[in-house]
């Protein structure tokens, strides 16, 4: 088999052979794949030295995204053309088979299992901490704030695990409905979260600078980098609106976000100051 180099990036219809519609249709799933990076801020905040640890973790996350996400996709596209039938069955397996790697099936099964366990661990952590925070603000049941002697919100953790089992059951019952819906829901929700984070960062950083507050960690390029982030997010949302399924999901997510904002505004001032421990 002759070496392809990077010819597959422009052959077989050229770059983006299905046009902007193909890119728009995949955007929410791509966003889903990058979701979870915001958990590093929560984890760093619970460490002994948040300012130092969050710098280190963010750098490591950026490197891993470039290597494992962007790098792996580049290799796949360079080795196999996008319209190769083997790509539909599993692009990673197809590349490994092309390279004559023995035991491809076992290797991919191990990689998938490890990746799923890692993602599940991070998601349970993030979900339980969010439930705990909502419980403190009176936006979730008070039980979500109950912690163990070591400060672990065990009720929130158990609730997150239980929700995971419910989702698995629903996916077993409706395999062609639940997973695609979850992929789009997570993708559209992440766009809302990232947009809110960027806006909050601009507002809070501006207030802190005006008040002359000393901050242990200051983002460089402020505020231009924050505004550039918002422009990119707006571009992603605009592209996603081209695809019908993504457009419906985005509009539903925005509507639900509006409802949650109204509920939060109506319940403002009922936050619970104490956090019981057992």
Q: What is the DSSP letter of 195?
A: H
Higher per-residue confidence, 239 vs 270: 239
Q: Is residue 51 part of a domain?
A: no
Work out the burial of residue 261: count CB atoms within 10 Å of its CB; fewer than 13 is exposed, 13-18 middle, 19 or more buried: exposed
- Tell me the average pLDDT across 42-61: 78
Pair (157, 224) in one structural domain: no
Q: Is residue 207 part of a domain?
A: yes
Short-list 38, 20, 72, CA closest to 191: 38
Q: Is residue 49 part of a domain?
A: no
Cα dihedral 183, 188, 191, 196 in deg (nearest 10): -130
Is the distance from CB of 135 to CB of 141 less than 8 angstroms? yes
Q: What is the pLDDT of residue 277?
A: 46
Cα dihedral 88, 82, 240, 238 in deg (nearest 10): 170
Short-list 17, 30, 58, CA closest to 232: 30
Q: Is residue 97 part of a domain?
A: no
- Tell me the average pLDDT across 231-250: 85
- Confidence label for 276 from pLDDT (cuts 50, 70 and 90): very low
Q: What is the pLDDT of residue 3?
A: 60
- Tokens 């180099």 locate to 5
Total count of domains within the chain: 2
- Confidence label for 155 from pLDDT (cuts 50, 70 and 90): very high
Q: What are phi and psi of 86, to 5 degrees?
A: -70, -25
Higher per-residue confidence, 83 vs 259: 259
- Tell me the average pLDDT across 168-184: 82
- Confidence label for 6 from pLDDT (cuts 50, 70 and 90): confident
Pair (180, 168) in one structural domain: no
Is the distance from CB of 163 to CB of 155 less than 8 angstroms? no
Q: Is residue 251 part of a domain?
A: yes
Short-list 2, 9, 18, CA closest to 75: 9
Of 131, 146, 173, the last residue of a domain is 173
Please tell me the least confidently modeled range out of 54-63, 179-188, 230-239: 179-188
Of 173, 202, 217, the last residue of a domain is 173
Q: What is the pLDDT of residue 16?
A: 76
- Tell me the average pLDDT across 239-250: 82
pLDDT at 98 over 60: yes
Q: What is the pLDDT of residue 5?
A: 66
Higher per-residue confidence, 182 vs 172: 172
- Confidence label for 278 from pLDDT (cuts 50, 70 and 90): very low
Pair (159, 140) in one structural domain: yes
- Domain containing 255 equals 175-265
pTM, to two decimals = 0.74
């Amino acid at each position: 088999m002759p070496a392809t180099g990077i010819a597959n990036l422009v052959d077989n219809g050229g770059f983006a052979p299905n046009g902007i519609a193909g890119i728009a249709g995949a955007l929410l799933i791509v966003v889903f794949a990058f979701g979870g990076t915001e958990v590093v801020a929560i984890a760093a905040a619970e460490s002994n030295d948040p300012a130092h640890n969050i710098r280190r973790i963010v750098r490591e996350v950026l490197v891993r995204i470039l290597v494992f996400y962007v790098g792996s996709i580049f290799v796949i596209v360079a080795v196999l053309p996008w319209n190769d039938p083997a790509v539909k069955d599993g692009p990673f397996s197809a590349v490994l088979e092309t390279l004559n790697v023995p035991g491809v099936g076992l290797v991919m099964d191990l990689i998938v299992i490890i990746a799923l366990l890692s993602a599940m661990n991070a998601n349970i952590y993030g979900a339980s901490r969010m439930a705990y925070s909502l419980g403190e603000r009176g936006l979730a049941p008070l039980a979500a704030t109950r912690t163990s002697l070591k400060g672990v919100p065990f009720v929130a953790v158990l609730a997150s695990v239980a929700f995971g089992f419910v989702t698995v059951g629903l996916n077993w019952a409706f395999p062609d409905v639940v997973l695609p819906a979850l992929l789009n829901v997570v993708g559209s929700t992440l766009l809302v979260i990232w947009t809110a984070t960027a806006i909050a960062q601009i507002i809070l950083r501006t207030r802190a600078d005006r008040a002359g507050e000393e901050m242990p960690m200051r983002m460089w390029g402020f505020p231009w980098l924050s505004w550039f982030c918002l422009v990119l997010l707006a571009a992603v949302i605009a592209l996603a609106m081209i695809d019908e399924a993504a457009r419906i999901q985005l509009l539903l997510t925005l509507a639900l976000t509006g409802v949650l904002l109204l509920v939060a505004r109506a319940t403002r001032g009922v936050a619970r100051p104490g956090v019981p421990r057992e």
